[in-house]
Amino acid sequence: MSGGTKWYQLDYADVFEKLKSSRDGLEQSEAEKRLSTDGYNEVEAKKEHSEIYKFLKQFASPLIYILMAAAIITFFLEKYIDTAVILSVVIANSIIGYIQESKAEHALESLSKMLVPEATVIRDGQRKVIPSKELVVGDVVILESGSRIPADIRLFYVKNLRVDESPLTGESVPVEKKTRAIDEDSIPLGDQINLSFAGTFVSEGLGRGVVIATGEDTEIGKISQSIRESEEISTPLVRKIARFGVFLSVAILAISVFVFFIGLLRGFDAVETFLAAVSLAVAAIPEGLPATITISFAIGIKAMASRNSIIRSLPAVETLGSATVICSDKTGTLTKNQMTVTEIYTATGTTYNVTGSGYSSKGNFILDNETIDPKNDPVLLETLKAGYLCNDASFKDGDVVGDPTEGALMVSALKAGKFYIPRLDIIPFESEKRIMATLNEDSEGNKIIYVKGSPEKIMELSQHKFDGENEIDIDVNALSEIKKSSEEMATQGLRVIGMAYMKVENDRERIDYSDLDNLVFLGLQGIIDPPREEVKESINKCKTAGIRVIMITGDHTLTAHSIARQLGIETEKAVAGSNIDDMTDEQLKDTLKSVSVFARTSPEHKSRIVKLLKSEGDIVAVTGDGINDAPALKNADIGISMGASGTEVAREASDMVLVDDNFASIVAAVEEGRDVYNKIQKLIIWMLPTNGGQALTVVSAIILGITLPLLPLHILWINTITTIGLGVTISAEPRAKGLLDNPPRPTEEPLLTQFIKKRIGFVSILMVSAAFFLFTLEMFSSNELPAARTTALNTIVFIQISYLFNIKSLHGYVFDELFSNKYMLIGIGGVIGLQMLLTYHPFMNLIFDTAPIGLYNWSWIITVAIVVFFIIELEKYVYRWIEKRNT
């Protein structure tokens, strides 16, 4: 019914006519008719996948497909032990992935909770309370202080109505609502002051409005639609692992087929040759890689939790470490979301800076870089007193109850001491009058009116100013100076409130607006939502780490630009959302190259900026706390929501939640994310040479026409126990130093860099050479195949152990940190114990076709493992020497 109408442009009489409604609301029969046509005032929730689906999803990997095929083939070949071991490995990996990775998405359910259960309406000319889901377009809704707005509404009556729209628009203070039509073509939600939106809160006052949109047509409904249409975001590492898995699968199948035909050409038995090809496939597949990466993510999640960052999606751990841009909301993220007086101008022409922030009464008054006692300045003291007494806010449990601006004025006064003068009467703040006044009586029975309001209105009503002793007339020059100071504060992003007073006769008991025509000007207080103290340092760290910070907020342009300057966010200027609407995608891309502050933005603007940044190859993290942030949080590579002040909608749409709402915690999380990637890289560079060595062993044996040194069961045993006992311990390595001293790795950087490929090839050759050498030595010595295979098997395992020490540092020497990871030492002890069991226990000998070996074999195995360790350390030295020489 609402179509594309711009309701804020219409006079409310025209709105009633267009909606076929009136101030007396709809008839009940008409409301029921519209309800049957338009449906309930509800936001659709997204259906979740079943738990079975989530578990089966863990099998969706080309490498797992090959292992499953190998299990089926060995079953039909009656190699049941091989089948059981392969299936055990596959199922174990899938269980680990299912347990560790939570894919639940409840953002839309949370949005539906934003709609209140009941609403007060006028139907049949009478006031009624109905379920909010039964609201229809044309209903007249009654709004009261403390209530949540149940639908999108065009207001036609307001009395001191202020609405907290921060969850939807990012506006840092409640919005004063009016009823007049707005004659502008395109304005952001925050400036549509004659409308109120579903899910926002009435902070004070009364109002009535006619419903213009319900359910999916509301601004919340549009956000829910945007979330439903958001694609599941694949992280850089997940994409790289997927590509790597496909490449590896194709390569393994091709080599296995090649080896099978080579075996047939050499006259080997077809079944044995086929089993050898299966052995090759099993050897080459790093079946433990998905599980160990998942475990690395999980350990990273635990580390991030200790630094106030809760990860909701496993790959997000690594993604944050590769972020190149952080798009941050302002209110409550970069700032405290606690309005604070930072500057005071008095009638004497003196400007004071006020220290401290938030709702703490700790702070000082600074004049010419020196702390002063406000009690020594009567004009400053009276200015503070006016803000304190002409005030309806209060404190409860350290937080402001009431208007945050009034809370800021109370706090600034408390920094000078406590004021208490009983109130006798009040003129509440009215948007038309733009002032508030109270009548107070001091301890001596003197009556005084304190007034606060817009600077323009206070100057209009003031005939005098207070100089500390006397009330003197205000001349043109004085008014000009006050106006200039007010404008200067505004350009700094401050919200300016004027203060005045007027002494009245002692028998006065009541006051009226008409009494306020001879005020004495006191001063101006400049208020801002201050930046968090630690955020500036965090942004500097982001710069060092090569991460750009962009502010996207619903707040005013001047305020946003001022906060950005204070925080060190580099930007050419601040761009308003209305300007974004006029830009093509290419123009906005050009703007993004030099502009890092966007204000008065809508959810669509934020999502558009995120998408364009991603299209340019950036890895984008988005922070936010409101419902308006949910689409951008979903569309980002990683969405970061606020845990304390954020809405449930934002938290459920995000990948990560900041427990302390502290932007600085993001920097700590980035460091953890880079550490996770560093460890995954180490894991890959440690695991793949083992698979490569085992595969080369099988290929070499078939090509050379000799007996296989390792059976498929041996390969699965090695891969399983070393992955669990050794590989997982890499994730417990101490965090590397200097992770934030370098820019993010290039997004196009492959998972297997040239360095990693060379290291994998080099170690694989060392491993296969050592295994073949000792296998052949044992065959010549004893001619016992089980003993020779057991020797080859132990050789590979012990080389893996020695190589595990090598990769504690990919490029540096490790002698000073050999024993820095106690979990690694425990894992090595466990693997050695299992090898002893496999080598000497009769039952294991029977199952795995192994045999006991003597001290002579062990002396060779340990010597070879130690030699390999020193060869790789030498290779590091040569690599660094070449790198240094080339630079």
Task: Report the CATH number that the domain containing residue 202 is assigned in CATH.
Answer: 2.70.150.10
In a domain, 709, yes or no: no
- Domain boundary residue, one of 510, 528, 546: 528
DSSP string of 361-428, one letter each residue: ----EEETTEEE-GGG-HHHHHHHHHHHHS---EEETTEEES-HHHHHHHHHHHTT------EEEEEE
In a domain, 743, yes or no: no
What is the residue range of 755's domain?
Answer: 750-887
Q: CB 700: neighbour CB atoms within 10 A?
A: 16
User: pLDDT value at position 171?
Assistant: 64
Do both 511 and 404 map to the same domain? yes
In a domain, 591, yes or no: yes
Do both 405 and 508 map to the same domain? yes
User: pLDDT value at position 515?
Assistant: 85
Task: Report the CATH number that the domain containing residue 398 is assigned in CATH.
Answer: 3.40.1110.10
Mean pLDDT of 84-98: 66
In a domain, 273, yes or no: no
Do both 157 and 26 map to the same domain? yes
Q: Among residues of the chain, what percentage have pLDDT more than 70? A: 83
Do both 756 and 846 map to the same domain? yes
DSSP string of 180-249, one letter each residue: S----S---GGG-TTEE-TT-EEEEEEEEEEEEE-GGGSHHHHHHHHHHHPPPPPPHHHHHHHHHHHHHH
pLDDT band at 98 (very low <50, low <70, confident <90, very high): low
pLDDT band at 561 (very low <50, low <70, confident <90, very high): confident
Question: Who has greater pLDDT, 669 or 647?
Answer: 669
In a domain, 635, yes or no: yes
- Domain boundary residue, one of 635, 653, 668: 668
Do both 488 and 548 map to the same domain? no
pLDDT digits (tens, 9 = 90+) for 255-307: 778 777 877 777 777 777 776 677 666 666 665 666 667 667 667 777 777 77
pLDDT digits (tens, 9 = 90+) for 201-218: 887 788 999 999 988 888
Residue ranges of the alpha helices (H) in 285-368? 289-305, 316-321
Q: Is 124 left (phi over 0), alpha (psi -120 to 50) or beta?
A: left
Do both 877 and 772 map to the same domain? yes
User: pLDDT value at position 851?
Assistant: 95
329 is catalytic: yes
pLDDT band at 112 (very low <50, low <70, confident <90, very high): very low
In a domain, 374, yes or no: yes
Active-site residue identified among 82, 217, 329, 555? 329
* pLDDT exceeds cutoff 50 at 107: no
Do both 553 and 651 map to the same domain? yes
pLDDT digits (tens, 9 = 90+) for 531-547: 887 888 889 988 988 99
Do both 161 and 13 map to the same domain? yes
| DSSP-based three-state secondary structure for 840 | helix
In a domain, 740, yes or no: no
Do both 324 and 462 map to the same domain? no
Task: Report the CATH number that the domain containing residue 627 is assigned in CATH.
Answer: 3.40.50.1000
Do both 354 and 490 map to the same domain? yes
Which structure tokens are listed for 472?
């003197």
Looking at the structure of the chain, the number of domains it has is 4
Do both 620 and 756 map to the same domain? no
In a domain, 638, yes or no: yes
Do both 770 and 873 map to the same domain? yes
User: pLDDT value at position 2?
Assistant: 46
The whole model's pTM is what?
0.64
User: pLDDT value at position 732?
Assistant: 84
- Domain boundary residue, one of 631, 649, 668: 668
* pLDDT exceeds cutoff 80 at 792: yes
* pLDDT exceeds cutoff 70 at 85: no
